[in-house]
């Protein structure tokens, strides 16, 4: 997976554990696509200081994920939901599951999926 995409996914789970300044710089770099120089100019600091802050922030995010695994759990849950939906469709399609039961199961899975 692309490093930037992976960091953004991890950021979605752990951003609140960062300082406001770490979040601001991370978002400027990864969401707004500003260069290190542009971020440094906007914050009255050096390009090197911004680079160091970003690397520390990235390391911190990766550390959180390695210890807590929320993104991995989320991915596993989504994969399980997709597998359940496929099984329901298969059983409903070959008559091994009543239409009403399949609809109920799909509704439960949909509600569960919206909470995850």
| Domains in the chain: boundaries | 3-68, 72-115
Architecture of domain 3-68: Orthogonal Bundle (1.10)
Residue 115: is its pLDDT beyond 80?
Answer: no
Q: Across residues 57-83, what is the average pLDDT? A: 92
pLDDT band for position 1 (cuts 50, 70, 90): low
pTM (predicted TM-score): 0.76
Confidence at 17, pLDDT banded by 50, 70, 90: very high
Nearest alpha carbon to residue 34 among 46, 23, 42? 42
Give mean pLDDT, residues 39-49. Answer: 97
Please identify which residue in the block is written with the tokens 């091994």.
96
Q: Please enumerate, as own/partner, the contacts of 106-110 that have beta carbons within 8 Å and a separation of 24 or more.
A: 109/81, 109/84, 109/85
Supply the pLDDT for residue 10: 96
């Amino acid at each position: 997976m692309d490093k930037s995409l992976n960091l953004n996914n991890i950021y979605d789970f752990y951003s609140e554990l960062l300082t406001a300044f770490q979040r601001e710089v991370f978002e400027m770099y990864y969401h707004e696509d500003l260069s290190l120089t542009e971020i440094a100019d906007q914050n009255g600091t050096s390009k090197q200081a911004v680079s160091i802050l970003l690397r520390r922030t990235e390391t911190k995010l990766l550390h959180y994920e390695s210890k807590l695994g929320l993104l991995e759990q989320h991915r596993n849950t989504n994969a399980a939901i997709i597998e359940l939906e496929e099984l329901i469709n298969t059983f409903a399609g070959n008559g091994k599951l009543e239409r009403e039961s399949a609809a109920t199961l799909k509704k439960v899975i949909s509600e569960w999926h919206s909470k995850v």
